[in-house]
Amino acid sequence: MKNDVVAVEFDDEQGEDVSVGYEAIFRNTPVAICHLRNRTIKRCNRRYEELFGYEPGELDNQSVRVHYPSDESFSTIGRKYGHFFEREHTFKDERPFVRKDGTLIWCIVTGTLLDPRNLQLGSIWVVQDISEHKRIEDELKADVEKLEIVVQQRTVELSRHVASLEEEVATRQRAEEAANENREKYQKLFHMLPIGISITDPQGDILEANCQFAEMAGLRRASPESWRKLPLRFFLHDGTEIPRHRLPWQIRDFQKDSINNIEIGMRDEKARKLRWLSVSSSLIERKDRQFVVAAFTDITYRKRIEELERLRHAELTRLGRINSMAEMAAALAHQMGQPLVSAVNYLNGCMLRLERVEGVGEISESMGFALKYLEQAGEILRHVKEFVCKHKPDKEPENINEVIKDALSFLNFEVRRHDVSVDLRLLEDPPLVPLCKVEIQQVLFNLMKNGMEAMTGLPSEARKLVIGSEIVGEGGAMKVFVQDHGTGLEKRSAKRVFEPYFSTKPDGMGIGLTICRSIVESHGGQLSFSRIGRGGSRFQFTLPM
């Protein structure tokens, strides 16, 4: 194989010729490349030697058998691609290779004949290390179906690109009959690479770019262009925009040697499509001229997988917090049960003694209310414990209007404290609804109290709480609603109102509405929220009859 240099000429407006050596591209490109003849490595670039752990020149004239884990795999692959080249010009496969130190790596190999009419010229092969991708696939077995679909799509896209490149190469071969063998070889290789490649001068003018780069940059064709004119915007991981003159591959401080695998975001200003790229570049010096070769690998899909993993981890963490809260609620219900029972017993004893004393009717009545509320608290704790243990609620046919009135009577103090007027719009003679009275009252407590607190700060005459019941739907579900005339919620907050741990109150825990929704859903109903005009909120839930 000859080591002469093939150059590509560009004509600018002043007639200046710019020559870029494809030999230099072969040596400096960050992709592993080799030239085979009869399965013998005639020549390879430094990246190829580094990939397999060999010293410079150590692989020259070596059989590719050194890369295979066994004689059987070497023979099988030889028969496979040998017959393939009888029908096609380009071969692509995914297989395990062995490095010099014996470690196994997975690679994608892409090969093409230099000249289908002259098989003695051999073939050019591009090798990409995909060991890390294999590891990710093993860890994400749950997403294997999605990955297979993506791989199929990528294969189809790659086939289209290869077909387009073959047509372009064929056109160039007809137009450049006088070009020598090396020019055709390196030019075809340059445009066959599955990664975006650009060659620029120090001022940032793109001298040449391959088709993959054009697709990434949103260009119709891979024509010379200035980075300043491309309709692109670049970002760091935190969303900070990178000015054009500060792009890593255009800063001279970074061009002393090379840059490797810098990750940046790129967005097309027209299509608004965001891509994540891994960028590597190397400086080429030709006499008194300098050129920068930059390689762009699309890592958008990998970033999406990483984001899905982050969200999955966050969701698991959130579920862990919920489980911890459930265990704490069960423990609290258990610990408070005994003191409440003792308080009820003492109050019952006091009531018996007061019955023997005259003139203490008001005290007896107050203690009766206290006893009633303690019994109610005990029922609530018992249902909390059952709710945490995922027991089905004990349902009894109940008059929903009476349930609403009883719940409201427990909040008389809150109604007076907030100076709220209550408007009851209850269905006349409603049918009985199967429900757990204590649990539904807890839902009503929460919704009513939230409504009263939402109207804090309004004039007294504007503090109006509307509570109603009605039958909806053909199936005959009972709907209960609680409507306030407060300041309402912002649209962003309204979308998150049922999320665990979300609260608009400074001292809120963000679990009240979540528990309410769980209670309603355990009854087979639904809890929903809507905004009322410019201000006010309406919570409503349904219960099947």
- AA letter at 273: K
Is the domain of 149 the same as that of 229? no
As a whole-number percent, the residues of the chain with pLDDT over 70 amount to 69
**pLDDT value of residue 168:** 84
As a dihedral over the C-alpha atoms of residue 96, residue 101, residue 103, residue 105, rounded to 10 degrees, the angle is -40
118 with 110: CB under 8 angstroms? no
Question: What is the pLDDT at residue 397?
Answer: 92
337 three-state secondary structure: helix
**Which of residues 228 and 65 earns the better pLDDT score?**
65
Is there a single domain that holds both residue 214 and residue 266?
A: yes
Cα separations in angstroms, 508 against 381, 450, 512: 20, 11, 9
pLDDT, position 262? 79
User: Residue 43: its pLDDT value, please?
Assistant: 92
Token pair of 356 as six digits:
């023997």
Both 47 and 183 in a single domain?
yes
Task: At 300, list the tokens.
Answer: 């958008």
Higher pLDDT, 324 or 208: 208
Instruction: Give pLDDT, residue 125.
Output: 92
Task: Quickly list DSSP for 44-94.
Answer: E-HHHHHHHT--TTTTTTEEGGGGSSSHHHHHHHHHHHHHHTTT-SEEEEE
pLDDT score of 446 more than 80: yes
Query: What's the structural domain count of the chain?
Result: 4
Using the structure block, give the residue that is written with the tokens 């294969």: 155
The answer as to whether 2 is a domain residue is no
- Do 30 and 17 meet the contact criterion of CB atoms below 8 Å apart? no
Question: What was the pLDDT predicted at 418?
Answer: 87
Instruction: Based on the fold, state whether residues 40 and 79 are members of the same structural domain.
Output: yes
Report the DSSP beta bridge partners of residue 265.
235, 276
Can you tell me the distance from the alpha carbon of 497 to that of 527, in angstroms, rounded to the nearest whole number? 11
Same domain? 293 vs 419: no
Same domain, 83 and 173: yes
Q: Where in the sequence is the domain holding 87, given as residue range(s)? A: 7-189
Q: Residues 119-133: pLDDT tens digits?
A: 788 889 999 999 888
Between these two residues, 499 and 487, which has the higher pLDDT value? Answer: 487
Residue 1 lies in a domain: no
pLDDT for 105 equals 93
Query: Among 171, 189, 207, where does a domain finish?
Result: 189
* CATH code of the domain in which 488 resides: 3.30.565.10
What pTM did the predictor assign?
A: 0.36
Residue 126 falls within a domain, yes or no? yes
| 145-161: average pLDDT | 80
The reported pLDDT for the residue numbered 19 is 40
Residues 112 and 135 in one domain: yes
Nearest 5°: CA angle at 44, between 38 and 45? 165
Q: Which of 141, 174, 189 is the last residue of a domain?
A: 189
